[in-house]
Amino acid sequence: MIKNLAFIIKTYEDFIRTNEDEIHACDSLKLNSFFECVSDSLIPLLCMFERLEADGIAFKIGLVLPPVLCSMLEDEKIQSLYVEFLDKRIALGKKELNRYKDDKKAYDLISLAVEKNKELKKRFTDDYNSNIIKQFAVWQRKGNVEILGTCATDIFMPYYADLPEALSAQVEMGLQSYKKSFGELPDGFFLPEFGYTPGIEKIIRSYGYIYTILHSRSVLLTDEPPVNGIFYPVRTENSLGLFTADPLIKNQLIGEEGYCTSSNYRNENRDIGFELELKKLTPILEEKSPRCSTGYKYWKKDFSDSSEASYVPADAIAQAEKDAESFIAERTEYLSEAAEYAKDVDYVTSVCFINESEVRKQWSEYLIWLEAVIRKADAAGLNLSLCKDMVSKQFTLEKITPYYSAGTGDGYGENLLSSKNCWMMRYVRKATERMIDLAERFPSDTGLKTRLLNIGALELLLAQSSSLAKMIEEDDDSEYAERRFRLAINAFTVVFDALGSNTVSTEWLTKLELMDNLFPWINYKIFSVKK
């Protein structure tokens, strides 16, 4: 029996305003984190694909590149800011080389980081012509990569189950954005935070999606759990294919005893950006700048080692190889056991879901590990697969009625509606109800009203993003999240009042359109009641 491994990496970064006269401090911190995603995950992924292809490795990998991320990466201003970001890192690196000119170990480490930034700049500007989204589309066309579609922003769908127009709007915008970025339509739909509630499948299926991925709670805690458990896809009553994310993966990678905890890996929490005096951190940080990471991290996770530059890249690479071997051995055993018990199927599969930002922030070497896993899989009898290739017999799959659940909180998304962030709910629900009403009241408007309605729809989509609630709950970039939410709700309220009073400030509207320049082709009618 075939044993499949299906990797799916989900990246997500939140919308960041870069077109203000001066980028707000909260946005500038978030921008730093966004560019780290580009430097440490997105471009390295493309480089990994190139190496694997050059070595004749037939790799397959699933990706979720959400619309906000794509839209930002296609923005010329952001592209030029990324080059600026790399230049500043290179300049700081040169200063650091000077500081450590007498310490060979540290000097070599810094040289590596400087070279890495120079290489990233070359790749980004020369090889990829500043548009990396196009590169991912190329790999999709080659058949190595499957990019899944998702909502416009990461809305937690169960909270809007009684407002189907809101869910349709999110799915429709996600699909339109996908078409614009990748030139085709996706087969797979990524459910934000794996938030499932009965009925959602009807909306997803109505947009032509073939399958989605659920948390194991949704699949197993049903009256009749699937005959083959989480190891084979099933389908809903309306034939939406369902895969189950392997529940063991997260712990294996970043759990308390996960691979990321090895003392040979780099300590992601120690960065000179948080340690040196500000004047030594120019040009990345200026006087009174909020501190942020600079990418210059010299320490490994072994806290007993107090030397100046304890991190040894060669040791980390060797550790990643070792962890890849362990992963392959463990998966082979796991899938072999599943194959023994499986009934009437020709393959078993493990869907390995990786949340890029969650993993990268704790384990910068995760892509070295992943590449090693990919290179070793075939020899171990594991077949790297894309989900879309496994649902070709979609209409013959076993039917189940999935249970309501999520992949965050204690299993139901509780962290998105906690005592810290529940205040958001009344505003975002109200704005959603109002937007649906506006789409009905202004069914075919033109000119200024359309512009108002479109920007109102965009602000609402941004306010519906569940990552804002999550950041507030976890107190991680909570200032950014709160500000972003409040700005979006207030902008929506101005739109609503302007339409009610038939009065608008074109200055306000034009500036807002310029600042919140996502999805310029948005059409507010996505919120219309579907007839």
Residues within the interface to other proteins (CB under 8 A): 158-159, 162, 197-198, 216-217, 220-225, 227-231, 244, 247-248, 334, 337-338, 341-342, 403-404, 409-414, 417, 422-423, 425-427, 429-430, 446-449, 482-483, 486-487, 489-491, 493-494, 498, 502-508, 511-512
Q: Residue 112 or residue 514: which is nearer to other proteins going by CB?
A: 514
Q: Residue 246 or residue 271: which is nearer to other proteins going by CB?
A: 246
Q: Which of 209, 207, 214, 215 is nearest to 188 (CA)?
A: 209
Q: Which of 231, 187, 463, 191 is nearest to 348 (CA)?
A: 231
Strands 2-10 and 382-384: parallel
- Is 263 in contact with 302 (CB distance < 8 Å)? yes
Instruction: Identify the residue whose tokens are 């950006």.
Output: 273
- Is 492 in contact with 431 (CB distance < 8 Å)? yes
Q: Residue 11 or residue 244: which is nearer to other proteins going by CB?
A: 244
Q: Residue 178 or residue 404: which is nearer to other proteins going by CB?
A: 404
Q: Residue 12 or residue 232: which is nearer to other proteins going by CB?
A: 232
**In whole angstroms, what is the distance from residue 128 CA to residue 97 CA?**
29
Closest distance of CB 54 from other proteins, Å: 37
∠ CA 311-312-316 to the nearest 5 degrees?
Answer: 100
Q: Say if residue 283 is preceded by a cis peptide, omega within 30 of 0.
A: yes
**In whole angstroms, what is the distance from residue 308 CA to residue 167 CA?**
52
Tokens of 413: 């998304």
Q: Residue 158 or residue 241: which is nearer to other proteins going by CB?
A: 158
Q: Which of 323, 407, 313 is nearest to 366 (CA)?
A: 323
Closest distance of CB 163 from other proteins, Å: 10
Closest distance of CB 120 from other proteins, Å: 34
The kind and range of the H/E element at 348 are strand 347-355
**In whole angstroms, what is the distance from residue 135 CA to residue 115 CA?**
22
Closest distance of CB 442 from other proteins, Å: 11
Instruction: Identify the residue whose tokens are 């506006």.
Output: 438
Q: Which of 232, 86, 67, 214 is nearest to 155 (CA)?
A: 67
Q: Residue 207 or residue 427: which is nearer to other proteins going by CB?
A: 427
Closest distance of CB 162 from other proteins, Å: 6
Closest distance of CB 425 from other proteins, Å: 6
Per-residue DSSP letters for 114-173? HHHHHHHHHIIIIISTT-HHHHHHHHHHHTSEEEEB--SS-B-GGGGTT-HHHHHHHHHH
Closest distance of CB 473 from other proteins, Å: 13
Closest distance of CB 277 from other proteins, Å: 32
- Is 112 in contact with 312 (CB distance < 8 Å)? no
Closest distance of CB 27 from other proteins, Å: 12
Q: Residue 189 or residue 231: which is nearer to other proteins going by CB?
A: 231
- Secondary structure (3-state) at 435: helix
Instruction: Identify the residue whose tokens are 């890849």.
Output: 324
Closest distance of CB 413 from other proteins, Å: 8
Q: Residue 90 or residue 512: which is nearer to other proteins going by CB?
A: 512
Q: Residue 91 or residue 515: which is nearer to other proteins going by CB?
A: 515
Q: Residue 195 or residue 273: which is nearer to other proteins going by CB?
A: 195
- Secondary structure (3-state) at 388: helix
Closest distance of CB 521 from other proteins, Å: 15
Strands 347-355 and 2-10: parallel
Chain-centre distance of CA 176, in angstroms?
18
